[in-house]
Amino acid sequence: MPDHFQLSLDTAPYKGTLSLNTGLFINGEFVDGIEGQKVDVTNPTTGKTITSVCAGTSKDVDVAVEVAYKAYKTSWGLKVPGSTRGRILYKLADLVQEHGKEIMALEVLNTGKPWSIARDIDIKNSIDVLRYYAGWADKVHGKTIETTENKLAYTRHEPYGVVGVIVPWNWPLMTLLCKIAPALATGNTVVAKPSEITPLTALKLAGMLSQAGVPPGVVNIVNGYGPTVGEAMSHHPLIRKISFTGSTLVGRRIQEASAKSNLKVVSLELGGKSPNIIFDDANIEQAVKWASMGVFLNKGEACIAGSRIFVQEGIYDAFVKALGNVGRSFDAATGDPFSPGTVHGPQASKVHFERIMGYIEAGKSGGATLICGGERRGNDGYFVKPTVFADCTPDMKIVREEIFGPVASVIKFKTEEEVIEMANDSTYGLACGLFTENSSRAIRVAHALEAGMAFVNSYGNTDISVPFGGSKQSGFGRELGAYALDTFTQVKAVHINIGQKL
């Protein structure tokens, strides 16, 4: 039997015992991995191991897919009415809310994100997305199509069957549920792989599934590494659909695996290097606040981070000074993620911390002007000071490559035409932002920028009812909103002859 993890916490926001099973979750129960492998889970605030969880292999993926396929055929899919699937998702949302503080504590412990972020974004959106798709579960309809009097033609939106879900480590539970909720609402069964860095809240969720009424095998959680578990899922012939959030490099591998296996449908939400444009007629105070949140929120570990900040020359100096002051205020509020006053925590892992520090050194040596930050904070854990570079040029490494950390690159521009060209000069196209009081310019520039999402006079304030996704090498397919239902269904056309004779 797999181990049971317990830890007592005595912090201001959470006092109590954290508890979860550390096994793989397959066919409604926790089990050991077939080959007995383990992976250590680290607290990024201290750099110390929290616990170890079971790590699956391709053999465990085979078992999980087989039971998911059986569950789809016998106890889920279109055999279960949408209204019933919806009630189960509502119940799961209630359970997540009931255990919300413990889930938040696990997320903070495992990711290093401040408690306020786990409370206001992670847990809130996790509950909301479950309830949103619970409401959709009995409202996925096809259309009746008029052709001739001798034919009845209509469409059905049918589930794929077994869906593979692979999620990253920056928003572990929220990203998982943004995929699982619409997948279940539309009748699919799921085999999910959480990040090996942050698996704890996925395992906590697994322990609630049976209580919510999810039949055994409908949702399976296989912890493990991408090159083993993720690779096996991507090649598995019974998985008909993969939904992946993560790096562009891994997204390419998943697409390649699809081509080499069963041509499974793939949706990808990948990297970003999003531009945020500040015109000189913008409300500079609001622009600085939104831009700082756009790059420093969640320690900069956000795919839509607006880390390329273009500022028109008339307000450039004032903006850079103000942004540097905000960066220093974030630095002053850095510390224990459980502390109520903390707004900036450690990076999620040692490997990622070292990667960010490498980019900061590239910025220093590449000719950018360091305004604030630019170094490690303290000696324990993986803390990086919020960093602002000014006098950046479009060819710099820190401008072109995704850093995925609290590092802003500020570039000066003169004209609207010039900044559109610079902003679009990227392999990525996930999000973009712009600040201006000119409504015509706002619409014109939002339409001209090559991105799946555009924010005007704000940044990053997404909503679960609005589609989320990118263009170019930031991926394809949409999550959230009604558009996600299309991602997890396939359309069947039915032709019924009611009078035509040969």
CB count, 10 Å around CB of 74?
Answer: 11
The SS3 call for residue 63 is helix
**Token representation of residue 431:** 């999000």
Given this model, what pLDDT does residue 353 score? 98
- pLDDT (tens digit, 9 = 90+) per residue, 65-93? 999 999 999 999 989 999 999 999 999 99
Confidence of residue 409 (pLDDT cuts 50, 70, 90): very high
Query: How many C-beta neighbours within 10 Å does residue 502 have?
Result: 3
Pair 152, 144: CB distance under 8 Å: yes
Is residue 1's pLDDT more than 90? Answer: no
User: CA-to-CA distance for 167 and 195, rounded, in angstroms?
Assistant: 6
Quote the pLDDT of residue 2: 79
* DSSP 8-state code for residue 304: T
Cβ burial of 207 (10 Å; 0-12, 13-18, 19+) is middle
| CATH code of domain 275-464 | 3.40.309.10
- Residue 350 pLDDT: 97
Identify the pLDDT of residue 146.
93
Provide the mean pLDDT of the chain.
97
Q: Same topology for domains 20-270+476-491 and 275-464, yes or no?
A: no
Torsion angle of the four alpha carbons 5, 6, 9, 14, in this order, in degrees rounded to the nearest 10:
80
Segment 310-337 shows an average pLDDT of 98
Query: Under DSSP, is residue 433 helix (H, G, I), strand (E, B) or coil?
Result: strand
Token pair of 452, please? 């799946």
Edge-to-edge strand ranges of the sheet holding 239-245: 29-31, 24-26, 219-221, 189-193, 162-166, 239-245, 265-269, 475-476
Amino acid 3: pLDDT: 84
pLDDT tens profile 96-116: 999 999 999 999 999 999 999
| Paired residues of 15 in beta bridges | 10
CB neighbours of residue 59 within 10 Å: 13
* pLDDT at site 501: 92
How do residues 432-488 score in pLDDT, each as one tens digit? 999 999 999 999 999 999 999 999 999 999 999 999 999 999 999 999 999 999 999
Which residues 6+ apart lie within 8 Å of 150 measured at CB?
497, 498, 499, 500
SS (H, E, C) 342-359: CCECCCCCHHHHHHHHHH
Cβ atoms within 10 Å of 361's Cβ, excluding its own: 12
Where do the domains of the chain lie?
20-270+476-491, 275-464
The Cα angle at residue 348 between residues 344 and 351, in degrees rounded to 5: 130
Which two tokens mark 30?
């926790």
Tell me the CATH class for 20-270+476-491. alpha beta
Query: Looking up tokens 């909103």, which residue turns up?
Result: 481
431 forms beta bridges with 453
Rounded Cα distance between 256 and 355, Å, is 26
The per-residue pLDDT for 499 is 87
Give backbone dihedrals phi and psi of 156, rounded to 5 degrees, phi first.
-125, 140
Is pLDDT above 90 for 284? yes
Average pLDDT over residues 368-385: 96
Residue 419 token pair: 């900044």
Give the DSSP H/E element, type plus range, for residue 129: helix 124-136
Residues carrying an active site annotation: 269
Average pLDDT of span 318-329: 98
Q: What is the pTM of this model?
A: 0.96
pLDDT of residue 388: 98
